[in-house]
Amino acid sequence: MKNRSLVSIEDYSKEEILRILELSEYFENNQNQKLLENKVVAMLFYEPSTRTRLSFESAVNRLGGRVIGFSDAGSSSVSKGESLKDTIQTVSKYSDLIVMRHPLEGAARFASEVSDVPVINAGDGANQHPTQTLLDLYSILKTQGTLNDLNIFLVGDLKYGRTVHSLLIALSHFNPVFNFIAHPRLQIPNEYKIYLNELGIKYYEHTEFSSIISKADIIYMTRVQRERFTDPVEYEKIKDVYVLKNSMLDNTKPNMRILHPLPRVNEIDIDVDDNPKAYYFTQAKNGVYTRQAIIASILELN
């Protein structure tokens, strides 16, 4: 992983993924390590973020490094028309590592090709969000004790939800069964179904899930991605089709856990938050440890 960009979860083998999870546990137990002294990490966020940006910043701070960057491209020379290539070539002269979120699919790959330093994809359009996937896997492993042979329910915006796309690919190393629950207009894209078919991984598609929820080991809820819709009327029609309520959880497995990459809009009722099966805020906390592990691996500090 040394000096390699992390653009897609496919950039990491199963063994490398497991190594990141092992290191995440180390950082959970040893949070403040001065491994990044004299290192500068650039955070370039062309799209809004709370968890990804702040957990990366927290990770760098806990490792003793320094952060530069922008959380609003409008305050940078991007607003004067500077290209992504020129921005990355410049920032890579000021930093040891770049973390970038961008609305265009493929932007992170392009940035990694023109950068002097490794690039971490913090989300590129509807494509991938690999660091979210690694913290999701860490959360699944912590709650289930294994990543193998789990029944995973993916609910909501499976078309535009980049966290779903990355997670599906990563979990495919571990013999899952997937249940996809989505409105017909937000179903999982065909390319992912072809991918699963080629690997012989079982999946089922549904438009409702209350009758099958008792089978789930993990329910991974997602927000309908308003920013990817060109027609606001279509978004309004679809946005509240799936709302998880506490009353739906009575017959679920004792060890089932509810994950959500967050932010939440309406898709998980707040009456779920006090249920011990709700894990999404701890999941967000796990992001700091996992991002410490990713940074340490890329800069070979561990």
Binding residues vs ligand CP (CB under 6 A): 49-52, 123, 132, 261-263
Q: Residue 55 or residue 92: which is nearer to ligand CP going by CB? A: 55
The β-bridge partners of 180 are 154, 205
Q: How far is the CB of 54 from ligand CP (least distance, A)?
A: 8
Q: How far is the CB of 192 from ligand CP (least distance, A)?
A: 19
Q: Which two tokens stand for residue 250?
A: 């009575």
What DSSP designation does 268 have?
A: B
Q: Residue 106 or residue 263: which is nearer to ligand CP going by CB? A: 263
Within 8 A by CB and 6+ apart from 231, the residues are none
d(CA 120, CA 224): 25
Q: Residue 196 or residue 294: which is nearer to ligand CP going by CB? A: 294
Cα-Cα-Cα-Cα dihedral of 72, 4, 146, 302, to 10°? -100
Q: How far is the CB of 131 from ligand CP (least distance, A)?
A: 9
Q: How far is the CB of 203 from ligand CP (least distance, A)?
A: 23
CB contact at 8 A, 138 and 21 = yes
Q: How far is the CB of 80 from ligand CP (least distance, A)?
A: 26
Q: Which two tokens stand for residue 240?
A: 């509240």
d(CA 41, CA 291): 12
Within 8 A by CB and 6+ apart from 83, the residues are none
Q: Residue 52 or residue 87: which is nearer to ligand CP going by CB? A: 52
Q: Residue 57 or residue 213: which is nearer to ligand CP going by CB? A: 57
Q: Residue 115 or residue 139: which is nearer to ligand CP going by CB? A: 139
d(CA 188, CA 180): 7
Q: How far is the CB of 263 from ligand CP (least distance, A)?
A: 6
CB contact at 8 A, 117 and 92 = yes
206 SS3 class: strand
